[in-house]
A and B are shown apart, each in its own frame.
Chain A
Amino acid sequence: MSELALAAFAAATDSHVVREPKELKFRRFARAFDEGAYLAELEANGYRFLGRSDDAFPALVRELHDPPPGLFLRGEAEADLLSEAAVAIVGARSCSSYGRQVARQLGRELAGPGLAVVSGMARGVDAEAHRGALEAGGTTVAVLGCGIDRDYPAAHRDLARGICERGLVVSEYAPGVEPAPWRFPARNRIIAGLAEVAVIVEARERSGALITADFALDAGREVFAVPGEITSSLSAGTNALLRLGATPLTRATDVLALFGLEPDASVSPELGEHAATVLAALSEEPAGADQLGRVTGLGPAILATALTELELAGAAAEMDGVWRGVRPQR
């Protein structure tokens, strides 16, 4: 039976289907289903369908105990991208500025040497991971819990466009399927399935990111968790994972080593005198601009100039008014 018909049936009945249903309803649907017309319409919109029996279908996803009938693809990249070495970076939607920054940095440092960064395009950690990967000029895959034509959330329309230029937006749900809460956990199994390694950046207890971690463990993937403050509820989930035996992620190199990859040679930029002073202060602890001014003794105008220099050099980043040094990974 056609895998496309299964996916179309799931969309038509607003259900989740992985195996051919025995109902009469499905047989009737399949008889009436015009595969050629459906494919033509997909193609007209620039979408593709990759059935699970297709050679290009990622083997790791096929190995799941409930692989989707197929994946709908949107974007410029070849379907082969889904079979390449990939790392999933997921985490809380309402994350802290620390979480956002770590996600961005990991996205950049893992995509730079050639890993595909897989995530869910949700707000917070997911979006930052995609952005980091795009910044590094790498490839990234967004797995949606709705049709690939829905830019969900709507605020990420530009991000989706950016991802499509070099990577893929994929979903097991046919175009037109609306996002629904029950679809997201199912989406997480595909995120976990696509990547050999799952990195959880920040998660509360009972967070969706932990569902991804569970799927990844079930599928025998390596799970990394980014350690967080023990007093923050945003780190409760990741710290619980660590307690259970997840590998603490302290630098991108740990992940890259699993794939036998080297980190991008970080060109240490030539910094001006003031910028170097500020960077030295930032390596002690993250600080607001005024605090930096007090520590370094620089006036606000010079300090602002130095901070821009560091930002352009990728050596520091601001989040919510607080500057953090971006530690080069070795």
Chain B
Amino acid sequence: MLARTVTHALVGLDARRVDVEAHIQDGIPGFAIAGLADRACQEAKHRVRSGITSAELKWPSTRITVNLAPAELRKEGSGFDLPIALALLAASRQVPPEALGGHAAVGELGLDGTLRPVGGVLAAADGARESGLTRLLCAADCAAEASLAGIEPVPVHHLAEAVAYLRGEWRPSPPDEPLADANGSGPAILDLADVRGQERARRAVELAAAGGHNLLLAGPPGTGKTMLARRLPGILPRLPPEEALEVTRIHSVAGLLPPGRPLVTIPPFRAPHHTTSVAAIVGGGPSPRPGEASLAHRGVLFLDELAEFPRNALEALRQPLEDGYVSIARVGGRLVFPARFQLVATMNLCPCGARGDPAAECSCSAARLAAYEDKLSRALLDRFDLLVTVPRPRARELEAVAGEASDAVRERVEAARERLRGEPLRRTTGADELLSRAVERLPLSARGRARVARVARSAARLAGADAVEAEHVAEALSFRSPTELRAR
């Protein structure tokens, strides 16, 4: 006897339809899974068998063959447990096969028959909707996520519930509305009010937020560079619905969504450690998965201690910085992960960290300093629109009143972004003159000039000006460091 269920396999961020066929025939009892199933998927045998018996259903003690079609597509992960179990139960006529029509299924089984959430449910739900299915059987924790794709989720806690539902004996309660303002897997939103002093660096962060500029914070350790950078997501505008869905899709595949409130509406903030591998940063692996650059899509990729990252990892970031996506080529084809992020990085001014600190003396040898500087290619440094050197604040500066709170700054940023959608701003003659004078007087390349012009535009928008004035250009000019990092 034969029965079919439908599920989806992930290829990059997309779901490909997989038909699960279960065939029960006479013969020596045995259980085989065909169709390029990986290790986790092969182990479904044990989970499915225990799950079915735990649900007080009958395990057919005959010869069982399960085929995952199309057979040439590699199947990975544990999301095939539920569809395999349901196909088996339908083949042994414990659930009516016709009840499975219009349904897709995804989920991992526990040995006691409970259904566990898996990653990529949103993609699977998208795939199901596209192949004309209307319902998705999935773990209750994933139901809200599945409903984002515009498909009706059937949230089940246990295999027995799924069987009861298919037999028409039980109706699931409708899932809760997805809650807004989730932050995905990101850390708690931190408030700018915690930062005392550092007015100039705060201003740089605000400019970066308003214009989506890449920002490099340089300075001796302990001056609050990291603290400031971590507060950037809090002043970024919330993601509009279509972008939120886009980000949620990526985080879903990575299995990072918190249960119950899956929609990521706050721009993600990813801070990979500098020991992270290149594949983990830009994405990759034998079956490519999105890396930190893609997880930071529409948000912030934060590289603390930029110069400590391996050079090849930094160079690999140049493609996403330029194009907004990562493309990974494999023998089987090419995968594209979106990766349009804002890069924020911190670095010390020298390997020992004492440079720029009046209270300490740098002990770096010239050769060590040179090696440190050489680590950052000009091409990478060129991507930073804003460069701010954060000197060590004096003790009494730390006694300053607490800074402005994130919410107030975010209102300004949102207003600036709103204006950004309007007419492009013109530069006044005064602004143009200043820019030309700067090109003559300062070490400022053509690229540097374009960078200054971009930042000046953001400054003008923050100020709500009708045109880019000389003062905006002047401010932008002050955020490139002429003597450090650039004109070596």
Contacts and interface: CB of A to CB of B under 8 A. Distances in A.
Nearest to A94: B366
User: Which of B437, B438, B475, B484 has the largest number of chain A CB atoms within 10 A?
Assistant: B475
A317 interface: yes
B373 A320 contact: no
A321 interface: yes
B479 interface: yes
B408 interface: no
Contacts of A301: 203, 459, 463, 471, 475
Interface string A31-72: 000000000000000000000000000000000000000000
Interface in B166-211: 197-203
Contact of B391 (A122, A308, A314, A320): A320
Nearest to A292: B200
B349 interface: yes
Nearest to B358: A322
A318 B358 CA distance: 14
Given A291-B397, A320-B349, A94 B219 contact: no
A233 interface: yes
Contacts of A21: none
Contacts of B256: none
B179 to A, nearest CB: 37
Interface string A286-314: 00111101100001111111011101101
A94 B364 contact: yes
Interface string B45-69: 0000000000000000000000000
A293 B364 contact: no
Contact of B481 (A153, A288, A318): A318
B477 A308 contact: yes
Given A305-B474, A308-B475, A123 B356 contact: no
Contact of A311 (B374, B400, B482): B482
Given A100-B483, A300-B199, A304-B475, A312 B369 contact: no
Contacts of A97: 355-356
Contacts of A294: 397, 400
B438 A312 contact: yes
B421 interface: no
A319 interface: yes
A300 B477 contact: no
B73 interface: no
A290 B219 CA distance: 14
A124 interface: yes
The number of chain A residues touching the other chain, given as a range, is 35 or more
Given A94-B369, A234-B361, A308-B474, A318 B482 contact: yes
Contacts of B200: 288-290, 293, 300, 303-304
Contacts of A305: 471, 474-475, 478
B334 interface: no
A155 interface: yes
Contact of B370 (A123, A232, A300, A304): A123
Contact of A318 (B219, B365, B389, B474): B389
A93 interface: yes
A135 to B, nearest CB: 9
A74 B463 CA distance: 51
Nearest to B365: A94
A325 to B, nearest CB: 15
A312 B369 CA distance: 28
A155 B488 contact: yes
A314 B438 CA distance: 11
B219 A93 contact: no
Query: Which secondary structure dominates where chain A touches chain B?
Result: helix
Interface in A215-235: 232-234
User: Which of B366, B390, B442 has the largest number of chain A CB atoms within 10 A?
Assistant: B366
The number of chain B residues touching the other chain, given as a range, is 35 or more
Given A290-B200, A301-B459, A93 B483 contact: no
Nearest to B349: A320
B111 interface: no
A134 to B, nearest CB: 11
A320 B369 CA distance: 14
Contacts of B198: 290
User: Which of B200, B203, B218, B459 has the largest number of chain A CB atoms within 10 A?
Assistant: B200
Given A288-B393, A304-B474, A305-B478, A319 B202 contact: no
Contacts of A131: 487
B415 interface: no
B437 A322 contact: no
Contacts of A233: 361
B373 A155 contact: yes
Nearest to B459: A301
B474 A290 contact: no
Interface in B218-254: 218-219
A216 B215 CA distance: 47
Interface in B430-484: 434, 437-438, 441-442, 459, 463, 471, 474-475, 477-479, 481-484
B160 interface: no
A123 B366 contact: yes
Contact of A93 (B366, B471, B481): B366
Contacts of B482: 311, 318
B477 to A, nearest CB: 4
B478 A317 contact: no
Given A291-B397, A293-B199, A320 B355 contact: yes
B58 to A, nearest CB: 73
A257 B373 CA distance: 39
Contacts of A124: 366
Interface of B: 197-203, 218-219, 349, 355-356, 358, 361-362, 364-366, 369-370, 373-374, 389-394, 397, 400, 434, 437-438, 441-442, 459, 463, 471, 474-475, 477-479, 481-484, 487-488
30 contacts: A94-B362, A94-B369, A97-B355, A155-B370, A155-B374, A232-B361, A233-B361, A234-B361, A288-B391, A293-B199, A301-B459, A302-B471, A304-B203, A304-B478, A305-B475, A308-B438, A311-B477, A311-B482, A312-B437, A314-B441, A318-B389, A318-B482, A319-B484, A320-B349, A320-B389, A320-B484, A321-B219, A321-B356, A321-B390, A322-B358
**Which 3 pairs, one residue from A and one from B, show the smallest C-beta to C-beta distance?**
A321-B389, A321-B391, A320-B356
Given A94-B366, A321-B218, A321-B219, 4 more contacts: A94-B364, A155-B373, A289-B200, A322-B356
Interface of A: 93-94, 96-97, 100, 122-124, 131, 153, 155, 232-234, 288-291, 293-294, 299-305, 307-309, 311-312, 314, 317-322
